[in-house]
Amino acid sequence: MNKSKFVALAIGLAAAAPALADNDGLYLGGAVGNSSSKESACVIPDMACNRKDTAYTGSLGFMFTPNWGVEGGYHDLGRVFEQDDMNGNSAFAKVRAASLVFVAALPVQSFSLYGKFGGYRAKTDLTSTVVPEGSSKNNQWTYGAGIRWDVFKHLALRAEWQRFQNVGGGTVGFRSDIDMYSGGVLLTF
């Protein structure tokens, strides 16, 4: 970064600091829920396939106003599919992703309806005794919606749905949308 860009950034941050300090818009959150993939995730034909697993999310966000903000998150989507024929043949794929989204909210008293849209970077690891194993990284869009309840000044609860589009590809041999339904807690600062 050249000197003039650094100076412009420093001046901008200094000018915004008082507004950001009064906002109480910074939040740290965690959630647990379920992930489910589409049928296209199952890679071995004619073998039972479980496409649901427990998923976890950690997030850090900032609401610039009560109506819009940004959020970064880490998502462990679990095993997005698992196949096993009970004869020693098995396959499963585990997905982890990082996301950066814009958040738009509509506050109504202590509740907020919100939507989010942005991108993610995922890593999918395929482990199998039947098909070639592999690992794949991909970037794609993510979006979601939810409801937030501000229980106390610095504590909120939220329930949300988030979709990760076209996870997989490359050496893992499949692409699938993954939906995550979760409930979580936010600590606001």
Round to whole Å and give the CA distance between 121 and 129.
27
Cα 2 to Cα 9, 14, 16: the distances in Å are 11, 19, 21
Residue 66, phi then psi, degrees to nearest 5: -65, -15
- The pLDDT assigned to 5 comes to 53
Helix (H) or strand (E) holding 12: helix 3-23
How far is C-alpha 59 from the geometric centre of its chain's CA atoms?
Answer: 8
Residue among 176, 182, 144 nearest 163 (CA): 144
Q: Model confidence at 182, in pLDDT bands (50, 70, 90)? A: very high
Range with the lowest mean pLDDT among 42-46, 69-73, 154-158? 42-46
Q: What are 64's two structure tokens?
A: 């610039």
pLDDT tens sequence across 98-154: 999 999 999 999 999 999 999 999 999 999 888 889 999 999 999 999 999 999 999
Percent of the chain with pLDDT over 90: 68
Q: Model confidence at 4, in pLDDT bands (50, 70, 90)? A: low
Round to whole Å and give the CA distance between 122 and 142.
11
Q: Model confidence at 6, in pLDDT bands (50, 70, 90)? A: low
SS (H, E, C) 74-98: EEEEEEEEEEECCCCCEEEEEEEEE
Position 19 pLDDT exceeds 70 = no
Q: Which residues pair with 32 in a beta bridge?
A: 56, 183
Position 26 pLDDT exceeds 60 = yes
pTM of the model: 0.84
In order of start, what are the domains of the chain with their CATH numbers?
25-188 (2.40.160.20)
- The pLDDT assigned to 1 comes to 47
Mean pLDDT, to the nearest integer, of 73-87?
92
Residue among 67, 179, 177, 72 nearest 119 (CA): 72
